[in-house]
Amino acid sequence: MSTSTLRRRRPLATDNGDNQSTDDDFVDHGQEENASLTSFQEVDPASPSLTDIDRSMRHASILTLLIWILLLVFAYTSVPETSLEKLQGAEKMSALFGFVVMTGNLLVRLGPHLLRKITPIPGGGGIFFDGSQSHFSGIMLGGMTTQIVAAITNALMAFCRVPVLIDPILHKRVSVLRWAEFSALGFLMTFLTEAFGVRDARKEALSIPWLHATCQGLATLGGLLFPYCSSKTSWYTLLFISVCLFSVIFPREYQKRNDFRGMKPGRTVNDAILYDRARLSLRMIHSCCICWTMFPITFFLSGYILPVISPPSSPFRNPALPMIFEALLDVLSKLVQMNVVMDVHAGVFDDRDGARALQRLEEVKIAIGEKWLKAQDVVIISVRQEFSGVIISMVSPSVALFPHRKKTDPQDKSFVFSLQSEDVSSSKLDFDKTDLSIQPTIVSGPTGAHKQRLSAMAGIIVRAWNISASPHASISHDVGNVVCDAEITKLEENLRVVVVRGCVVN
């Protein structure tokens, strides 16, 4: 397989002359039968789009920040001035420990991704353009949000005056800021856990993650409201509601486990992605079940059971014990979550090296069958990466037929090249250089005419991705010295198959 990397010389302008794309160039076939393209409809469909899921994770992250800010305002305005204090001793050290760990984890785990997002990578290449950037996915944004909120909360508790109340039933010290953090991040972490495991990205399918996240957020909100209860009745009622809402996580974990047991890895890229999403979603909700079950256990253990059964001189009677346990569990849950977030980002949302896109091209080529090798027309398979927008296309060996040969050579290989997302938004291509990495087995060398043909194929692909109205369309392509006709089939939202006929280099 050969690799062609196309670099743009300057920003592309919209055509104003003979090369301008007009509505007359596009002939809509609608439901018309097209013998050269109907067999392509047998290609396996792709998995549900991840775009809506990624977008919903971004929305959830923004919503979480707003909720957290509102809870901070509530925490500081709902307590008397006498309840604001600077933590001392073990309480301060536990918060400082949490701040250092969260900040370090944020820099180590997310720092490189942030740098790749804003800084091109020197020496990039291969099938991608120099300076390829990393996609910063919605789940990565959610993970960053949890780390930042947790780090800021710990910093406030370590260095600033914070609201501290006494629980009227357990008589323990309660950090209102800590439970404000738990309430906001409990919502977000649950949503991330549920959302990336959804197989169907329609709005009604995403309602389950929203509902479950709301349950966990409200359940954790009980920990914040306990010190505000004025009677035992209200306290125990709030406890009952919180336990019921929290318990929703267990049937959800059971359901995900059963669903995963019925799945198989599959042979296609899309099946593998669905399998990984289900596996990682189960892994994350399983870790949430374990970590979050520890919160109510330590809530009663440190606040009531240990102080009651321990002798007066025991360290378990230390009033700082609840805040110490909460800080340690906070660190543990965030570290576990970030491990899964990084795995999900790498395995599902980030295809920076193009491996999954290339595998998808191979799958479609196999599904097309003998047409790929024996057709006299040029067949182009084009896949768009969902988040980066990079177009990776494979051109059949018959591209070497025009205009010199009458039949394909069995030693000819397919060409693969990529286009930047901004190229697709323009109707004109102007390349400064076309680099061809040719294997020795390829007979057709990198001649000028051959480069012109590949550039023409790239121009056709750009126009193919700008046709979105119908599943079938035809275009006439006459740019520079290359004249040809093309029939385009939109198999999926991110997949096009193009048949090019009569390509002549004048």
* Strand partners of residue 382: 393, 496
Q: Say how many C-beta atoms besides its own lie within 10 A of residue 295's C-beta.
A: 19
* Strand partners of residue 392: 383, 418
Answer for the pair 438, 400: CB distance below 8 angstroms, yes or no: no
d(CA 195, CA 192): 5
3-state secondary structure 227-264: HHCCCHHHHHHHHHHHHHHHCCHHHHHHHHHHHHHCCC
Answer for the pair 348, 277: CB distance below 8 angstroms, yes or no: yes
d(CA 108, CA 411): 48
* Amino acid 272: pLDDT: 74
Rg value, the chain, Cα: 29
d(CA 204, CA 413): 45
d(CA 314, CA 306): 9
d(CA 358, CA 272): 14
Q: Tokens for 488?
A: 């385009």
Across the beta sheet with 482-492, the strand order is 27-28, 472-479, 482-492, 495-505, 378-384, 391-395, 415-419, 2-8, 431-437
With the C-alpha atoms ordered 257, 263, 267, 268, is the resulting torsion angle positive or negative? negative
H-helix or E-strand containing 224?
A: helix 207-225
d(CA 336, CA 324): 19
Can you list the domains of the chain with their CATH numbers? 2-36+377-505 (no CATH), 51-120+131-349 (1.20.1070.10)
* Amino acid 116: pLDDT: 60
Helix (H, G, I), strand (E, B) or coil at 307: helix
Q: Can you give the pLDDT of all 506 residues of the chain as single tens digits?
A: 433 333 333 332 333 334 343 333 333 333 333 334 444 444 444 444 677 788 889 999 999 999 999 999 999 999 999 999 999 999 999 999 999 999 998 888 777 766 665 554 443 433 333 334 456 788 888 999 999 999 999 999 999 999 999 999 888 899 999 999 999 999 999 999 888 877 765 556 788 899 999 999 999 999 999 999 989 999 999 999 999 999 999 999 999 999 888 887 766 666 777 788 888 888 889 888 988 898 888 888 887 788 888 888 788 888 888 899 999 999 998 988 888 888 888 777 766 656 666 777 777 777 777 666 666 777 888 877 766 667 777 777 766 665 544 444 444 444 555 554 444 443 333 333 333 332 322 233 344 556 666 677 777 777 777 766 566 666 666 665 667 777 777 777 777 788 877 666 65
Q: Tokens for 158?
A: 């370590």
If you write DSSP's letter for every residue of 339-398 in order, what string do you get? Answer: HHHHHHIIIII--TT-HHHHHHHHHHHHHHTTHHHH-SSEEEEEEE-TTT--EEEEE-GG
- Please indicate, yes or no, whether the overall pTM of this predicted structure exceeds 0.85: no
Exposure of 90 by Cβ count < 10 A (0-12 exposed, 13-18 middle, 19+ buried)? middle
H-helix or E-strand containing 472?
A: strand 472-479
- Cα 453–457–460 angle (5° rounding)? 135
Q: For residue 253, which of 293, 223, 217 has the smallest C-alpha distance?
A: 293
